[in-house]
Amino acid sequence: MRKEGFLLAAAVLLSTACLAQAQMSSYDTTEDDIGITAGITYLSSYIWRGFDMYRENHSSVQPFASFDFYGTGWTFDLSWRRAIAGDYENYEEFDFTVAYAGNSLWPETSYTTDWQVGYTYYSHPDNPIRMGRGMPTFDLDYEDLFASISFPNICTAGVVPSYTIVYLWPSESGKKSDNGTAWSAFRSADGFIHVFGLDYDWTIAGLLPDTPEQIIHCSAALVYNEGMGVSPLPTRIHPDEDWSHVLIGATTDFDLGSGWSVTPGVWFQKSMDDSVNTSDEYYVSLSGQYRTR
């Protein structure tokens, strides 16, 4: 693992320690403080934007930490994504995201618009990968820019439509062959995806007589891929320009008190383009996290 891997692991551990210290001191943060969320997510399959990242539906663990800077709209997120299976060490991934969510446009109207823009760097510290003697190496690092809008008041029934556009490109970091050609497996993976989403919070009775109402967060997304990305090694298929998949999911939060919570989720992906994914996907997620506010 390279130096950045150790730095990210240390940052996650440090943020977790800060959270524990905040809880021990009974410190109540406000919008004037840095809000921190740290935890870990288990995925029975690591599916990313339609792609089965580990092939054959292998599971992953994903420690994460998120920082909300004084309620200004600026956030910084970092996560570590690692397969549970032992054959995928070269796919270990560290993600760094900086985002800004501005004030709502046209507030207190039916067409109120929430918006966010951001940047993500995807680092694979064990790359570049060499597939065999005499073959070129492949560096899987890449970056993206994204922007999203949502309309929380447009539907009186509580359904919230949204739209997200993402542009991804390879991050060569100066690694090129002798003739100047970039070796990254993502060297031709730049492009856009468009995500059309619907979200709905379904309120049901508490699971026990003395517990509060439970909110089920339901979501659906239809994704159009303009040739962005590449299927995981060794296939390295460049996606078609087409509707790639539909993702449907439901999650709910169980408040454990004192800032701790657990969030299970169930997901189904209807894959529509074989160049992205040749099969439909069913998987579950389970997150445990602590929030300072």
Has residue 108 got a pLDDT over 60?
yes
Q: Higher pLDDT residue, 228 or 160?
A: 160
CATH number at residue 73: 2.40.160.40
Has residue 104 got a pLDDT over 80?
yes
**Predicted confidence band of residue 92 (pLDDT cuts 50, 70, 90):** confident
E strands present in the chain: 34-43, 47-48, 51-52, 60-69, 74-83, 93-101, 114-123, 129-130, 137-138, 142-150, 160-170, 191-204, 214-226, 241-252, 254-257, 260-271, 281-291
Number of domains comprising the chain: 1
Which residues make beta-bridge pairs with 29? Answer: none
Token pair 């029975």 in the structure block, residue: 44
Q: Is the pTM of this model over 0.75?
A: yes
pLDDT score at 11: 46
Q: Higher pLDDT residue, 44 or 88?
A: 44
pLDDT score at 22: 47
Q: What is the pLDDT of residues 231-261, one digit of tens each?
A: 665 556 678 899 999 999 999 999 998 999 9
Which residues span the domain enclosing 19?
A: 3-291
Q: List the Cα angle 107/108/114 in 5-degree steps.
A: 40
State how far the Cα of 37 lies from the Cα of 76, in Å rounded to an integer: 11
Q: What percent of the chain has pLDDT over 90?
A: 56
Can you tell me the mean pLDDT for 281-289? 96
Contact assessment for residue 39 and residue 259, using Cβ atoms and an 8 Å cutoff:
no
pLDDT score at 31: 65
Q: What is the pLDDT of residues 5-59, one digit of tens each?
A: 444 444 444 444 444 444 444 445 566 688 999 999 999 999 999 998 887 778 9
Residue 20's φ and ψ, nearest 5 degrees, are -60, -40
- Say how many residues make up the chain: 293
Q: What is the pLDDT of residues 137-184, one digit of tens each?
A: 666 788 999 999 999 999 999 999 999 999 998 886 544 554 445 455
Has residue 200 got a pLDDT over 90?
yes
Has residue 128 got a pLDDT over 70?
no
pLDDT score at 251: 98
Has residue 105 got a pLDDT over 90?
yes
Has residue 198 got a pLDDT over 50?
yes
